[in-house]
Structure 1
């Protein structure tokens, strides 16, 4: 699922290619889930956008929006595999060399936008798995975050950096007795952190993902606060281009580099193990992430240490939204989405199990964005 860093990437491209331009043509195909689940129809979306000027774009965690010259405004969520493609722009963090994936309009489009400027910019919201959401929010642009679904979600650690300070974090942790990884993934607590970002943050903070949130000491809370801002600021600073992530990051080594039946290890030899926390597979470095307090459950270290990095992976979805459509995101997605190559950021679409890798959906590799 696209996380805070990936959403920052697409907001960057919206600002670069669409903001300041008037929509001369808008097409929308009705989808009872993507539009209908949030009380909007394709016809309403098309009417609301047609002839309007896009004056801005914003983000709160995994949600993003385009502010129009007059209300309503489009507020969107990509779900597990949605994206906004802009013709002739390198927005996508997956690249495919299949001719069918280069066609325009792209497959599985939900709306198409075309601007009136001489060079004509074209954009498309695509979602083969139909777990994304497109809604209209009728309010002044400055009030978007005061409306559903954004008002039900926690602060964004980048947009709301001053809010997500050490004192705020300490209070949040102290009020809940849940595994710290589960707390980070709960969008009602903090917006935008998903599986890979959560693992990266806890690795740098040297905190075990299963330790209860209310048992962290002052030094651990300070380290966690620092790691949250470090991982978020670093990943958005390179527009979620994983080729440009620091070489010492857990992200760079958790995928096993395609080495069959070999455990994932860091350059210094520390093993990367895998366990399930809050329904999601977590990558952990036991040599660094020690259990310093009560944890949700103990894991068999001998088993996890021998778990191959490129074990079989199965598509799963996590309840990551706190608004009315959250139950849709908890469904186990079906296989069969179009295969695409070379993700800029490898979001955690898969859950590791014992066995060889299964060819499912999208191949994992990285590329450098243009």
Structure 2
């Protein structure tokens, strides 16, 4: 599933095309893609409304149309991009929206991606946690809020109501950076390591955005370039290889039903 850097990259990719534009039509090939609105709702609330902003909240791409927001969640295999014409030979286009002389296309092989219509940002804010690349995600915040919870740290990082946008890849990378075992209980981790985790989260997410995301899944964006942060991964997907820091053997296990990669030599579990 695309994580924060990938979603941010897609957001910026389509934003440059959409700002100030108006959708003039919506064609839907897979009806379930529209989660909580209909084509009739589109006609009355979205059609011909000026797109005032395009931004990301957690893993949602949000289009601000003034009175409503249109939200897009890519889920597992969603691809969102702008083209000059629709390629009818593509079998997995769930929907497309016409604007100006271009089209915003949503292509989704597994059909889990969804489009939403919201009255405003309040609903999402009530469900989602802190954004890890904002000033609110401070050292004091992470120290205080990890100590409040007695949860396995990897599971806690994946909880979108705690910190949003961090998924499997970047949780593993940030924990490796901080030398924290993924099964460590959050309240028992030293303050020094929690601060290192804070540094690691910001570092791996920021660097991945600069490089356009990992794109190690069935996932692409735009047509100008693809992400290459996968070249910088230290532990994710490296099971059976030697740790680049200590030469220990990297293991793979499951945490919160997710494949989890770590080095038991330098990420020692607190007993």
TM-score scaled by length of structure 2: 0.86
What is the count of residue pairs matched by the alignment?
Answer: 259
Within-5 A mapping of 1:198-209: 198-209=171-182
- Whether the 8 Å contact between 1:109 and 1:126 is mirrored in structure 2 is yes
2:98 matched to which residue of 1? 114
Distance 2:184 2:214 in 1: 30
1:170 pairs, out of 123, 134, 143, with: 143
Within a 5 Å distance, the mapping from 1:1-370 to structure 2 comes to: 1-29=1-29, 31-32=31-32, 34-36=33-35, 39-68=36-65, 70-87=66-83, 103-104=87-88, 106-116=90-100, 120-139=101-120, 144=121, 146-147=122-123, 149-158=124-133, 161-241=134-214, 244-245=228-229, 249-250=233-234, 254-255=237-238, 263-267=240-244, 269-291=247-269, 293-294=270-271
Structure 2: distance between partners of 1:247 and 1:270: 20
Give the root-mean-square deviation of aligned CA atoms. Answer: 2.5
Distance 1:26 1:62, change over 3 A: same
Distance across 1 between alignment mates of 2:231 and 2:77: 26
Partner Cα separation in structure 2 for residue 73 and residue 169 of structure 1: 30
Deviation per residue, 1:321-362 (Å, 9 max, x gap): xxxxxxxxxxxxxxxxxxxxxxxxxxxxxxxxxxxxxxxxxx
Q: Distance in 2 between matches of 1:194 and 1:11?
A: 17
Offset of 1:42 from its aligned partner?
3.5
Distance in 1 separating the partners of 2:156 and 2:88: 41
Q: Cα–Cα, structure 1 residues 274 and 193, in superposed 2: closer, same or farther, change >3 Å?
A: same
Runs ≥4 residues deviating over 6 A: none
How far the C-alpha of 1:81 sits from its partner, in A, is 1.7
| Unaligned segments of structure 1, at least 5 residues | 90-101, 257-262, 295-370
In the other structure, the counterpart of 1:331 is none
CA distance in 1, matches of 2:228, 2:155: 28
Q: Hey, what's the Cα distance between the residues in 1 that align with 2:39 and 2:106?
A: 12
Q: Which moved more, 1:276-285 or 1:107-116?
A: 107-116
Alpha-carbon displacement from aligned partner over 1:286-309 (angstroms, at most 9, x marks no partner): 222112x24xxxxxxxxxxxxxxx
Q: Deviations over 1:1-55 (max 9, x none)?
A: 11001100111112122212222333234624x324xx32243235433222222
Segments of structure 2 that go 5 or more residues without pairing to the other structure are 216-226
> Whole-Å Cα distance in 2 between the matches of residues 4 and 55 of structure 1?
22
Identify if the C-alpha distance between structure 1 residues 40 and 135 changes in structure 2 by more than 3 Å, giving closer, same or farther: same
Where 2:194 maps in the other structure, the secondary structure is: helix
Q: 1:305 — aligned with what?
A: none
Compute the displacement of 1:105 (Å): 7.2
Cα distance between partner residues in 1 of 2:42 and 2:28 = 7
Give a deviation string over 1:121-176, Cα, whole Å, max 9, x none: 2111222323222111124xxxx2x22x3421101112xx2111111111211121
Between 1:189-198 and 1:125-134, the stretch displaced more is: 125-134
1:218: how far off? 1.1
Aligned to 1:250, the other structure's residue is in SS state: coil
